[in-house]
Amino acid sequence: MINVGRRAAGSLCALVLPLLLLCGCSAMLNRAYRESAPHLEPNYTADTSGQEVTSYNMLVQVVKRWVRGGLSGGLLRFTSYDSNAGEDIVTAISEVMYNDPYGYYVGAYILYESASDSKGPAINLSIKYMRDRPQSETDTLTEAGGREVLRRKLREAMHSYAPYLAVEMPFYEESFDPDGLIAQLYTQEPLYALGFPAYDITFYKADKSQSRILEFRFAYEYSAAVLTRLQQYVEQIFREFCDGLTLTESDAGNALTLHDALCELLSYDHDTAAYDALRGSGRGRPYNIASFADKKAVGEGYALAYKALCDNAGITAEVVYGERASEGHAWNIVSIDGRWYHVDAAMNDYGEETAHEYFLSADETMRAALYRWDSTKYPPCEADYPAGEEAPPGE
């Protein structure tokens, strides 16, 4: 005899999902953290046809399928079931809501009640979902098997200025570092960083699962259509600018040519820098390669623009985030003939004049000038550029 239990009229047994673990990850240098706004509650349908269940494993799979399908519930009919359905349904609901990352991600709680009729014992489920998880978003959940797949999906989302990305990772590892991947995409592909958003990341991890669902929400200053047109415009200006430069076979000489041309094109945006120092803003076009259009930038804009120029010229360059005189700042390191050197075009740009005080400099030189950075994240710059070895023109 299957014992599903009898219920008092109007009562319900419920398993209620506790509060989700929310991990807000910090964004890029001087960029704001934003919370996503709630959405309207979705309208889900129920499986009214009745689902036959013959084993506990089948019971769990049915509940999982209903949750992943966005159903509001359904009728479970226990046929030739050799265990206690009333006890098993409690365990099955717990397994789906706590041990399956998708159930943990979208579910609020599942109610159950006896629904036996002439066809035999049955249980009716009612599934409730989080109010801020509309079906249109849960349907976009995609799977990523590893760090490189996650990076590709993030790249696609950021390049298309998507406001939302949800990724299920069956075997998540801390080394995947999604926040670090976003930072890499921002600095490694500066031509696509002009619309870089504020963002937050939420991790959904079930109690007994290696899987995690990562939910990314991006907030942009402009619409995707506006950003796409702006990107096309900036790319055009960038290409025309590069076509007007005369480069040689010397990486050191070309690094100087790019540095001086950039300083001639841009001017340091003191108004933005002063505002950010007071208000902690740090968002906007002076921080990215749109400075090619505006012709004004702060340290981050100079660094990203110089990185893009070096990439185009075949010179290996990275963006360094740190501090100068205890204030947030960004600059570059470049690889010349197998050695790394610092370059800070922003601090070398004196308006009418271009200096070379922080050009192809060593770690020691930069530290003496009150630069600070996490040296574990960047290659060492062991010496200033040797004056006796093909010194760049003008040195």
Cα distance between residue 99 and residue 120, in whole Å: 30
Nearest to 166 by CA among 123, 212, 112: 212
Query: What's the pLDDT at 280?
Result: 43
Fold adopted by 14-19+36-131: Translation Initiation Factor IF3 (3.30.110)
Q: What does the pLDDT read at residue 173? A: 85
Long-range contacts of 374-383 (CB under 8 A, 24+ apart): 374/322, 378/318, 378/320, 378/333, 378/340, 379/318, 379/333, 379/335, 379/340, 380/340, 381/333, 381/339, 381/340, 381/341, 381/342, 382/339, 382/340, 383/339
Same fold flag, 14-19+36-131 and 224-377: no
For residue 289, give the nearest of 241, 326, 245, 361 by alpha carbon. 241
CA-closest candidate to residue 177, choices 196, 153, 150: 150
Cα–Cα dist 373/258, whole Å: 24
pLDDT per residue as tens, the chain (395 positions): 233 222 222 223 333 322 222 233 333 433 433 334 444 455 568 887 889 999 999 999 999 999 888 888 999 999 889 889 989 999 999 888 888 878 878 877 899 998 876 777 899 999 888 756 656 666 677 888 889 999 999 999 988 999 889 898 888 888 889 988 998 888 998 888 777 778 888 888 766 667 888 889 888 878 899 889 988 999 999 999 999 999 999 999 999 999 999 999 999 988 776 555 444 444 457 788 888 888 989 999 999 999 999 999 999 999 999 999 998 999 999 999 999 999 999 999 998 899 999 999 999 999 999 999 999 999 999 999 986 454 454 44
- C-alpha distances in Å from residue 110, one per residue of 85, 91, 133: 16, 12, 16
Amino acid sitting at position 102 = Y
Structure tokens at 196: 């870089």
Does the structural domain 224-377 have CATH classification 3.10.620? Answer: yes
Rounded Cα gap, residues 376 and 24, in angstroms: 24
Q: Is the separation of the CB atoms in 216 and 164 below 8 Å? A: yes
Cβ pair 365, 342 in contact under 8 A: yes
Sign of CA dihedral 37, 41, 43, 44: positive
On whether the CB atoms of residues 265 and 241 are closer than 8 A, the answer is yes
The domain over range 138-219 is classified in CATH as 3.40.50.150: yes
Domain borders along the chain are: 14-19+36-131, 138-219, 224-377
Ranges of beta strands (E only) in the chain are 13-16, 46-53, 73-78, 107-114, 122-129, 142-143, 164-169, 198-205, 212-219, 267-268, 296-297, 317-324, 327-336, 339-343, 359-361, 371-373
Burial of 193 (0-12, 13-18, 19+ CB in 10 A): buried
35 exposure class (CB count in 10 Å sphere: 0-12, 13-18, 19+)? exposed
Q: Would you tell me how many other CB atoms lie within 10 Å of the CB of residue 7?
A: 13
Calculate the CA 64 to chain-centre distance. Answer: 28
What is the reported pLDDT for 138? 63
At 136 the pLDDT is 63
